[in-house]
Structure 1
Amino acid sequence: MGLLTPDLGYFFWIFVAFVVVFLVLKKFAWKPIIKSLNEREQNIAGAIASAEKVKAEMAQLQSENESLLAKAREERAQLLKEARETKDKIVNEAKEQAKAEASKIIADAQQAINAQKMAALTDVKNEVGKMVIEVSEKVLKQQLAGADKQEAYINSLVNSIKLN
């Protein structure tokens, strides 16, 4: 029970030891502890300020990224539009070129047809000319024989030509 009710002397020495420890701690430990706590508090405040600054920068970067994305989308849409226009232009040019070539081919074919037609007409005229010469030759041979014979011969020649 002596520990529960200490003596006055025991109490005094505990008090003196406490004061000495308190003064030693105050002299050597309090200042470094307080200094380190203040430094820690300043570091934490600096870290919070840095975090806020980084957060603000991130918000700004996100805003810039969104604006860049919007700009990129606009540029993509513009490029797609230009590509479509270029495609339409190329297709239209190809169609026009094809039409021009088709017209040229048709014109060339018509010229060839006309040339063949003219050649055929020339051949027919030559054949008719030969036939006229032959008929004239035969008429002249018969003319020497008499007029009645000549008419009969011409009629027979006409009849034979109509049949061919």
Structure 2
Amino acid sequence: MDLITPGLGLVFWSIITFFILLVILRKFAWKPILGAVDERENGIKNALEAADKARMEMENLKADNERILNEARAEREGMLKEAREIKTKMVSDAKEEAQEQATKMITQAQEAIENEKRSAMAELKNHVASLSIDIAEKVVREELSNKDKQLELVESMLGDAKLN
């Protein structure tokens, strides 16, 4: 029965052994265990902070990439718009120049036609004047000589003038 009911000495030495064990564990085991736990906790905290920083950097990089992409798109659109404007201006300038050339050519052609017309009219007037003078000369000669012959001469001259 001594085994089932502990004696006062056994309880005393058990308590003293427990406290000695507690002091030894505290001095040699608790500090390293708590230090390891703290170190592990700090490592996890640092890892989480690093992951948050990495996530933030990724978000920043993604935002930067989006911004750069949008800037590139805007620049491309600007360049395309500028190219379209240059093309339109070139086409417009070419049309204007062609219109000016056509107008100039038409004006020159009209002037040439007008000059030719004036020249032909002057030549025709000269020819008509020459014929008129010839007819008048012949008529005057014939009139002075004979009236019947004068009529005959005028009719023949008119016939000759119509043939030419």
Query: TM-score, with normalisation over the residues of structure 1?
Result: 0.65
Matched residue type, 1:60: N
In structure 1, the partner of 2:95 is 95
* Equivalence map 1:6-25=2 (5 Å): none
Unaligned runs of 5+ in 1: 1-25
Q: Aligned equivalents of 1:106 and 1:62: distance in 2?
A: 65
Q: Aligned equivalents of 2:155 and 2:66: distance in 1?
A: 105
Q: Aligned equivalents of 2:131 and 2:59: distance in 1?
A: 106
In structure 1, the partner of 2:120 is 120
- Would you say 1:109 and 2:142 are equivalent positions? no
In structure 2, the partner of 1:62 is 62
Cα-Cα RMSD: 3.2
Matched position secondary structure for 2:145: coil
Identity of aligned residues (%): 40
Q: Aligned equivalents of 1:119 and 1:150: distance in 2?
A: 34
Matched position secondary structure for 2:128: helix
* Equivalence map 1:20-59=2 (5 Å): 46=46, 49-50=49-50, 52-59=52-59
Query: TM-score, with normalisation over the residues of structure 2?
Result: 0.65
Deviation at 1:89, TM superposition (A): 2.6
Q: Aligned equivalents of 1:104 and 1:97: distance in 2?
A: 10
Aligned length: 139
- Would you say 1:71 and 2:64 are equivalent positions? no
Q: Aligned equivalents of 2:135 and 2:161: distance in 1?
A: 10
4+ long deviations beyond 3 Å: 34-52
In structure 1, the partner of 2:143 is 143
